[in-house]
Amino acid sequence: MRKLLITTLALSAVASLVTAAEPLPSWNDSAPKKAIIEFVEKVTEEGSPDFVPPEERIAVFDNDGTLWPENPVPFQLAYALDTLKKDVEKKPELKKEPMVAAALEGDFEKLLAGPHHEGLLKILALTHAGMTTTEFDQSVKDWFATAEHPRFKQHYDQLTYQPMQEVLAYLRANGFKTFIVSGGGADFMRVWSERVYGIVPQQVVGSNTRTKYELRPSGPVLIKTMDQLFVDDKAGKPVGIHEFIGRRPIACFGNSDGDKEMLEYTTIDNSRPSFGLIVHHTDAVREYAYDAHPKSSGKLVKALKEAPKRGWSVVDMKNDWKQVFSTPPAE
């Protein structure tokens, strides 16, 4: 216990140093950086009318397009396609399935057709269900250790945005709890969220389905199914926040119309001070430039239009960020 206490003291000292240094060094001194710092200073100043106690300092972050890229396709889709290719090598008869064929041909329009995106669900069922959670975790780990981003030629998990890593660290140093709230699969993200973002599994909210518990001779397992699918996107994000966090956030970071409802839920009619921010992809040279017509996900029209009215900060990636990636790619 004495050692734990010393560790706690040491961590407090580190936290103090982190905040003593200039926060957000990869951000230019433009409006979004100023707005983040002003908000954090306001809610952490004891005695101030805007003070928010630490247990209520909940910050939520979208992942794809907010903490790392979603181009040329969201990384989980790249995982699904690579896994599908490996599965087809082992079981060539899978190719007879029209949706598998569409996926292998990159025909995303076909996969996303229909009110419930039946094709995509089929691919997810093939690559994300029917195995134990342990088997799935291992498969995701193996993929991240080997797969490379087609443009940046790095492992996918090396491509986090340095300015956003700094926001995560800055908020945590100021007593915030940081959560991911993403349309991505919770099981997929929890494999690497702690290593990549310092976010523990219980602070990752994502899309999910039910698992099924079995006590096998080898021990307890949970089998992944496609039952009771929950899509943590758009109006599903406030639902996911309520279900998993059970408290309204006071800070929300997103990048697309998929984050609009979560931004609303955080900032409109909140009894506490609140903050919303949108990462606008404006940098085709260092990353990508898109909003109204993205090639895959990440459409940003409605939320961008709402931003001035709602007081949400909008990051112009090209002009507000000194550096984009945590590990600059050798492009």
List interacting residues with its own copies (CB under 8 A): 1, 3-5, 8-9, 12, 15-16, 19, 44, 46, 54-55, 133, 173-175, 177, 186-187, 190, 194, 200-204, 208, 210-213, 215, 218-220, 222, 228, 230, 235-236, 238-239, 242-247, 261, 264-265, 268-269
Quick one: 101 or 245, whose CB is closer to its own copies?
Answer: 245
Between 220 and 308, CB nearer to its own copies: 220
Amino acid identity of residue 305, one-letter, is K
Rounded least distance, CB 131 to its own copies, Å: 14
Q: How many secondary structure helices (H) and strands (E) does the chain include?
A: 14, 9
Output the smallest distance, CB 89 to its own copies, in A.
30
Report whether 281 contacts 287 (CB < 8 A): yes
Toward its own copies, which CB reaches closer, 73 or 189? 189
Q: Which is nearer to its own copies, 55 or 93 (CB)?
A: 55
CA separation for the pair 32, 29 (Å, rounded) = 8
Instruction: Using alpha carbons only, give the angle 231, 235, 240 rounded to the nearest 5 degrees.
Output: 55
| Minimal distance, residue 241 CB to its own copies, in Å | 9
Of the candidates 94, 87, 179, the one whose C-alpha atom is nearest the C-alpha of residue 139 is 87
Which residue's CB is nearer to its own copies, number 233 or number 320?
233
In 3D space, the residue among 260, 235, 264 whose CA is nearest the CA of residue 249 turns out to be 264
Strand pairing partners for 214? Answer: 221
Contact 52, 273 (CB under 8 A): yes
When the beta carbons of 102 and 278 are compared against its own copies, the nearer one is: 278
Q: In this structure, which amino acid lies at residue 259?
A: D
Least Å distance between CB 101 and its own copies?
Answer: 32
- Least distance (Å) from its own copies to the CB of residue 211? 5
CB 268, min distance to its own copies, A: 5
State which residue, 187 or 257, has the beta carbon closest to its own copies.
Answer: 187
* H-assigned helices in the chain: 2-20, 31-44, 75-90, 98-104, 108-112, 118-128, 133-146, 162-173, 186-190, 193-197, 236-244, 260-267, 302-310, 317-320
Asked whether the beta carbons of 270 and 291 are under 8 A apart, the reply is: no
Minimum distance, C-beta of residue 90 to its own copies, in the bound complex (Å)? 27
